[in-house]
């Protein structure tokens, strides 16, 4: 076999190997990008879901505020009468609140009403923490994606611990 033929096959093998390495590298970058987008989607969905309730629990200044006395609980809702504080509105015989955010029957809790509805949202630290529970869950899910799909274990641990602390704080505050 002539020397030029050996050299040509060596060049072909080298070229093929480089193309294979590029393909593997492109797949790795695509996997990391896809997992990053999935983690971002989970986090955005958690914030979006939490904000629907958190805005009423956190930004209570121009809202109808008062106290609610829990009378009955059925399914996932508790109901009871609402009494406004400092002339913020009119008393209502029946408003509802999520059972997870409600105290025991007969107890009073500070709430704000969603505009135009009879749905109450708990205010104060307990209400704020309860409102951010969906975000805490999305942090836990995104931590799994970040650890498994992106191989960023330290970042995943931080995200997971933050989510677990937020869930624990919400549970303790209720």
User: In this predicted model, what pLDDT tens digit does every residue of 25-44 receive, in sequence order?
Assistant: 888 889 999 999 999 999 99
pLDDT at site 157: 97
pLDDT at site 19: 75
pLDDT at site 62: 59
Q: How far is CA 169 from CA 44, 56, 154, 172, in A?
A: 21, 19, 22, 5
- Confidence (pTM): 0.80
Q: How far is CA 157 from CA 41, 49, 70, 106, 148, in A?
A: 19, 23, 39, 41, 12
Domain assignments of the chain as residue spans, ordered by start: 31-60+124-174, 61-122
Based on its alpha-carbon atoms, the radius of gyration of the chain, rounded to whole angstroms, reads 27
Helical ranges in the chain per DSSP H: 3-58, 124-131, 133-149, 153-173
Which CATH code is given to the segment(s) 61-122?
Answer: 2.40.50
pLDDT at site 11: 66
For residues 62-97, b (16+ Cβ closer than 10 Å) or e, as one string? ebbbbbbebeebeeeebbbebeeeeeeeeebeebbb
pLDDT at site 48: 96
pLDDT at site 6: 63
pLDDT at site 5: 59
The three-class DSSP label of residue 122 is: strand
Residues of the chain under the 50 pLDDT cut:
none
């Amino acid at each position: 076999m002539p020397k030029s033929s050996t050299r040509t096959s060596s060049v072909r093998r080298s070229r093929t190997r480089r193309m294979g390495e590029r393909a593997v590298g492109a797949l790795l970058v695509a996997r990391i990008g896809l997992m990053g987008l999935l983690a971002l989607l989970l986090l955005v969905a958690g914030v979006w879901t939490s904000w629907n309730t958190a805005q009423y629990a956190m930004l209570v200044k121009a809202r109808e505020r008062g106290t609610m006395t829990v009378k009955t609980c059925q399914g996932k809702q508790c109901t009871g009468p609402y009494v406004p504080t400092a002339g913020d509105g009119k008393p209502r015989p029946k408003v509802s609140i999520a059972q997870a955010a409600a105290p025991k029957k007969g107890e009073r809790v500070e709430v704000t009403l969603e505009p135009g509805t009879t749905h109450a949202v708990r205010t104060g630290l307990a209400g704020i923490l309860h409102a951010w529970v969906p975000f805490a869950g999305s942090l836990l899910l995104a931590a799994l994606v970040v650890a498994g799909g992106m191989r960023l274990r330290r970042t995943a641990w931080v995200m997971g611990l933050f989510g677990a602390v937020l869930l624990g704080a919400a549970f303790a505050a209720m």
